[in-house]
Amino acid sequence: MKKILSVNAGSSSLKFKIFAMPAETVIASGKFERIGIEHPLVEIKYGDGQKFSEEAKVKNHSEAVQILLDKLLDLKIIASYDEISGVGHRVVAGGEFFKESVVVDTNNERLIEKTFELAPLHNPANLMGIRAFKKALPHAVAVAVFDTAFHQTMPEENYLYAVPYKWYENYSVRRYGAHGTSHRYVASVAADMLGRPLKDLKLISCHLGAGASICAIKDGKSFNTSMGFTPLAGVTMATRSGDVDFSAVAYMMRKLKVKNVSQMVETLNHESGMLGISGKYSDSRDILEAAEAGDHRAYLANEIFERSVIDYIGQYTFEMGGVDGIIFTAGIGENSQETRESIVKKLAFLGINLDKVNNQTRGKNTFISTPDSKVKVMRIMTDEELLIARDTFNLAK
């Protein structure tokens, strides 16, 4: 039995899961938070419901990784470091360098450094995590799994912006998309549920969480996706605007006498979306509750969010020349039966009927369209960590 660690390193945090492979069972999960800040905390869940948490002073990711591995030994989750044969890391942006998951050798480390500008908040932290684990576990294969890699199959007409072509030629400005690991995972589950080969299907995956993106999957490959050069574009999100006419931003810069465009990008990332419209809430549970209680702007925020999702479903249905299955996943997609019901009802003209009973079930993958529906709709629990572990296991072989 091989043990594979699946890691998501942020600038001050480190989340992980340990899988026994090839059985794909989770043997432990946890996180290290506030690394390099006051009161760093390590938390580990393991066994049958056991939990460990402790404040552990660490200055950086290297120290955090060392403490984490020692705790895994103390708690007898692993008997020795050698049991861990691979560590898979989530990396947010892979630019055009990475079309699939890779073993991180020094050359790939250099290429990841070149992508820092594409995800300045995430990629440096991701690489810090990779280096910390490589130092602590030199025998384990280090693998990078990129959020953007799945979308590298998009055709040119879907990834190019209609801006001066030199922007792409000289500076690689294009649509990269995001959530690729999630879209890839749920698409494979959908194919299993539909009992058909993925390569024969036209799917639309709706990853609806605090960040949200829609992906058209044709012939088993990403064909188009709603996020763009960065994860700011596409559908309305918790605090991100989604698509906006850039002239409106330039106009507001003049009105507000803002000199620095980065300040506007901050506003579009953190003060917009459902928060911007409602003025109060970014969490869809709060939005739905307030809308129910008669708050018009909360109602409007939800309507605009749902409308933007439907816009993309419509666009992708036409671009692919049809659709066999629509997938709802991530925080809102998996948990909000109201949002699923509302969106599915608006898609009735596609020959979709909602299965109200199935739509209320929780915690498992299920069809939420009735068996006679022309297009099948599925609620699927995403599992990016599992896909990272699978890729790592396969590359470590």
> Which residues belong to the active site?
147
Residues in contact with ligand AMP, counted by CB under 6 A, come to a total of 12
Which of 336, 359, 366, 369 contacts ligand AMP by CB under 6 A?
Answer: 336
Per-residue binder mask for ligand AMP (CB under 6 A), 214-243, x = binder: ------------------------x-----
The binding track of 172-211 with respect to ligand AMP, each residue x by CB under 6 A or -, is -------------------------------------xxx
Nearer to ligand AMP, 153 or 335 (CB): 335
E-state strands within 34-83? 41-46, 50-55
Binding mask 283-322 vs ligand AMP (x if CB under 6 A, - otherwise)?
xxx-------------------------------------
Q: Which is nearer to ligand AMP, 104 or 378 (CB)?
A: 378
Q: Which two tokens stand for residue 175?
A: 């649509």
Position among 126, 335, 369, 373 found at the interface with ligand AMP (CB under 6 A): 335
Chain positions 337 to 366 lying near ligand AMP, rule: CB under 6 A, are none
Q: Which is nearer to ligand AMP, 108 or 205 (CB)?
A: 205
Q: What is the 3-state secondary structure (H, E, C) of 248-269?
A: HHHHHHHHHCCCCHHHHHHHHH
Find the part of the chain contacting ligand AMP (CB under 6 A) among 214-222, 325-333, 352-360, 385-393: 325-333
Contacts of 212 (CB under 8 A, 6+ apart): 206, 226, 234, 235, 236, 237, 305, 309, 330, 332
Residue 331 assigned ligand-binding role: yes
| Distance separating alpha carbons of residues 115 and 230, to the nearest angstrom | 12
CA distances from 378 to 213, 344, 381 (A): 16, 11, 10
Integer Cα distance of 159 and 176 in angstroms: 7
CB-nearer residue toward ligand AMP: 195 or 363: 363
Closest CA to 15 of 25, 5, 27: 5
Instruction: Give the shortest CB-134-to-ligand AMP separation in angstroms.
Output: 29
CB of 6 within 8 A of CB of 19?
yes
The reply on whether position 83 binds ligand AMP by CB under 6 A is no
Burial class of residue 176, CB neighbours in 10 A (0-12, 13-18, 19+): buried
Q: Say which residues have a Cβ less than 8 Å from residue 185's Cβ, sequence separation at least 6.
A: 382, 383, 384, 386, 387
Binding residues for substrate: 90
Binding residues for Mg(2+): 8, 384
Binding site for ligand AMP (CB under 6 A): 209-211, 238, 283-285, 330-332, 335-336
